[in-house]
Every structure is written in C-alpha cells, then in structure tokens.
Amino acid sequence: MTISDVSPVRIQDRTAELAEIKAHAAAGPDPGATERQHAKGKLTARERIETLLDAGSFHEIEALRRHRATGFGLEGKKPHTDGVVTGWGTVHGRTVFVYAHDFRIFGGALGEAHAQKIHKVMDLALAAGAPLVSLNDGAGARIQEGVTALAGYGGIFRRNTRASGVIPQISVMLGPCAGGAAYSPALTDFVFMVRDISQMFITGPDVVKAVTGEEITHNGLGGADVHTSLSGVAAFAYDDEESCLEDVRFLLSLLPSNNRETAPREEAADPADRRTDNLLHLVPAHPGQAYDIRTVIEEIADDGEYFEVQRAWAQNVVCALTRFDGHVTGIVANQPVSAAGVLDIHASEKAARFVQFCDAFNIPILTLVDVPGFLPGVDQEHHGIIRHGAKLLYAYCNATVPRIQLILRKAYGGAYIVMDSRSIGTDISLAWPTNEIAVMGAEGAANVIFRREIAAAEDPDTERAQKIKEYKTELMHPYYAAERGLVDDVIDPAETRSAIIAALTMLRTKHADTPSRKHGNPPL
C-alpha cells in the first residue's frame, strides 16, 4: 500500500480516535475520580500544570504510555499516562520542564513505565538547560511491580544528583510522599509544601507506632509545618495549592535557567543612588539591642522586595533572594531578633546550603553581619557545631561568585571569620561606623586579660569598667579593621544601597580560577 492509497477518511477517523483517547486520559480512570480529588481540596495533575505554566504553553510527552506489568490485578488496568503527566511549557516566557503525579491513577504510585516517563523529562530538562519542577502526589512505589519500581526511583535519584548545580530543581509536595520517594525532593534545590494535603516521611505513623509505640498523625509526623520549622526539609509552606504554585512561578523568575546563565534582570524603577536614611533609626547603635534584620533588607533592596527561603527554620539567620538595580542577589544575614543572631548548628547548615545554591547558579552574595559568635553549650558541641559550622565556612571559601560583606554592628570571634570575612575571600568588605570586630565582646575580653588587675583593685567594678573602656578604645574602635586592610571602607549607613550596587556593578565581570580537582570533600 502506498501513501496515495490511504483514504483521508481513515486519517480523520484516526485523528478523532486519538483525540478521544487523550480526552479520556485527561478525564481520569472513572467519572468520579476528579470529584474525589477535588473533595480532598486538591487539584488534578493537569490543573496543577495549567496553574504553574503560562496559559496554553504546555506540551505533553508520552501521553499514551501504558505499563507492561501482568498479574496482581494490573493486566486489566492499563490507563494511558500510567499515572504521571510529563512535558514542558513556559513560566514568564522561559522554558520549564514539569512532571505531575496523577493520584487518580493507581494513587500516583510509581511503576516501571511511570518512572521511565520521569527519566525522559529529566533527561530533556538537563539537555535543554531548563529548570525542572516536580508536582508530587503519589503513594510511593507500585507494589505490584516489585523491584522494577524501586529501580525506577534509583534512576530518578541519579538524575537529581547529576542535574544538581546544573539546572534549578524544585519539588512541590501536593500529596503524600513516603518511603524512598521522599529522597528525590530532598535532593532538589527547594521543596514547597501545602498544609493538610502534603506529608513527607520515611516511615508512616503505623510503622512508627509498631516500632516505637509512639502515636502521631500524618501531619504531626511529616506535615508542611513540621518540615518548614523543625526538620528544615522544606523551604516553604502554604494554605492552598494556588498560592503555592504562584510562588513557584515567582521563584523561577529569580533564577537562571541553568548554571551557564545569569538570572534575568528586571528594569529597576528604584534609583541605584537612593539614600537609605531610615537605617539610622532602624538599627540601634547599642550592640545588645535587638532589631529585625528584615527591615534592613527592605530598606536597601529594590522596592523593598525580597523572597525569603526557609523563613520558619533556623530563624537566627535570614536567607533571601532579592534584586539590586534589577540584578538578582542572594542575602545571608544574622537575625538579632532571634537568639541575638548567634550562629548555631541549624543556622550554619541553612546558610551553607543557600550559599552553595547561589554560587552554583551565578547569583552574587551579600552578607549582612551582626553576630555575637557561635552558640555555646554542651548540646551544640555534642551534636557537632564544629562540623556544621565548617559547612558554612567551606561554602563561602568555595564560592566564586561576587561576594560582599557588610558589618552593621558586632562581629565577634570565629563567627566573624565564617560570615564571609576578608580573610576567607570576600571581594569587598564594608562596615558601618557602629561596627565592633574583635575576638570577643569587650566585657568578656577585659575579664580575661585584666582578671588579676581587677581582682587586686580596691574597687573591682570601677577597675573593670575602666579596663573595658580601654579595650574598646584600643582594639574595638570602628576603624581598627579598616586601618589594617580587613575592611575596605567604613560607610555612612545612608549610603548603604548605593555602595552595595556600586560594588556589585564592579564585580559583575568577576572571574575566579579554581583548582583542578574532581570535587572537594566538604564536612557533610
């Protein structure tokens, strides 16, 4: 038979048949499946994709894929898509790849064909150099397919790892995620969760109760608030899917498509030379008085806008993405209103991961310093504050993007060094006239250095006060570090925004040579 022998009617029939198959796949396995999904307060896989991507931009791949498993009740159930919708579209006009579990089909459980579809879209994202977003709503491995389902997860994990630092990877949790399935989101750059409908855990409440006797709900064990405030696994929590997906879109607007590009610039209406006189009132001069570092970020950033990461976890450090003169910049800042801004295990780990992310994707880093030191205590030492603090130190030392340090007030001890000091490679170090850089606070230093003189004095309190004043005058005055070349300039707080933008502009063409090596060995 030749092409000329093919009747146009047959082609039309096949086209109609194809349309019917795709419509049936989109509708779900039975008429009530979508209603049951909506009754749980959840969107369907395709509704989620439509919400995430620009209208009409989605291109689906392997929509007709079916599983090949036999036995255990699967031979008569071979729905198209096999429970996952894959493809690409655009967000704000830029290409983004996506896959979404369809809970209406086998509970979104992963089988061989299901996994191969995900592998395909992950490979395409890496080849195209575009972000990958996973919309997770699945019941884990498909038990009926045995080890092939487990192997499918292994392929996902390997691809997550290969893509790490090459393309942005975002996981959106919109349903259950248990067992080995939870490791894929953990390997990605950012995890979003929605309260009440999404949970993540390795072993569920029933197993926990059987093994330890502890009784706990699904949300209590692995809900959104647990993972954003206690475990640090997730970065963001929302009350509904729509607001969650809207913020995923916003985050993507702040990120480059891959590690060979820079983040997209937006034309800035906020003048680069705008004075920041409000900082004179927002930040108390006394180093022991608390304030919210977010007010500083709002004052210096373009239009006061920023996007904070892991806001509810390790609150003594703030990590955020913002723009200066339209260019995306990462901010790491001590938070004096929480534990005085001290560095501890969780704060060190949070900041280290954020620094690594910014460095991987060519995002400059501004570090706002107001730190009294590392948190002392038996618990911190026994749980490895040395190792975790070294993670932050390693991340900064390893970073090759433009780096600016701004010391607002106190910067004491090892924490001063770790917070991107000149000695570990920051490009430009700035300080306000209120800066105090020293091994420790004046009170503690005086008690150590002059303990004999104080003890022998007729009036120990007066002697102590005199020695504290002497130590501050000699070693902690605001120009001490600048005189020794450890601070590039002491600036008027009202000129903070313009000074930061000037430094970032100068560093935009920065090039850093790195040693020839396979990779370093960070203190994980």
Q: Which two tokens stand for residue 394?
A: 């390693």
SS3 of residue 187 by DSSP: helix
Cα dist. 451→103, 440, 456 in Å?
69, 15, 9
C-alpha 326/C-alpha 106 separation (Å) is: 46
| DSSP state, residue 54 | P
- Note if 414 is an active site residue: yes
List 107, 146, 165, 179, catalytic entry? 179
H or E stretch including 48?
helix 45-52
C-alpha 367/C-alpha 355 separation (Å) is: 10
List 146, 180, 204, 444, catalytic entry? 180
Angle between helix 45-52 and helix 241-253 axes, rounded to 10 deg: 40
Contact 14, 6 (CB under 8 A): no
Contact 44, 104 (CB under 8 A): yes
- Cα torsion 12, 13, 14, 15 to 10°: value is 50
C-alpha 107/C-alpha 105 separation (Å) is: 5
C-alpha 341/C-alpha 344 separation (Å) is: 9
C-alpha neighbours within 13 Å on the C-beta side of residue 20: 6
| DSSP state, residue 427 | S
Contact 164, 158 (CB under 8 A): no
List 139, 234, 415, 445, catalytic entry? 415
C-alpha 204/C-alpha 185 separation (Å) is: 17
C-alpha 341/C-alpha 317 separation (Å) is: 6
- Note if 441 is an active site residue: no
Q: Which residues contact 452 (CB under 8 A, 6 or more apart)?
A: none
Cα dist. 405→276, 304, 424, 497 in Å?
18, 20, 11, 13
Residue-wise over 301-334: b if at least 16 C-beta within 10 A, else e?
bbeeebbbbbbbbbbbbbbbbbbbbebbbbbbbb
- Note if 180 is an active site residue: yes
C-alpha 420/C-alpha 365 separation (Å) is: 10
C-alpha 138/C-alpha 129 separation (Å) is: 27
List 146, 155, 414, 425, catalytic entry? 414
Among candidates 404, 468, 406, which has minimal Cα distance to 440? 468
Q: Which two tokens stand for residue 218?
A: 């699904």
- Note if 179 is an active site residue: yes
Active site residues: 179-180, 414-415
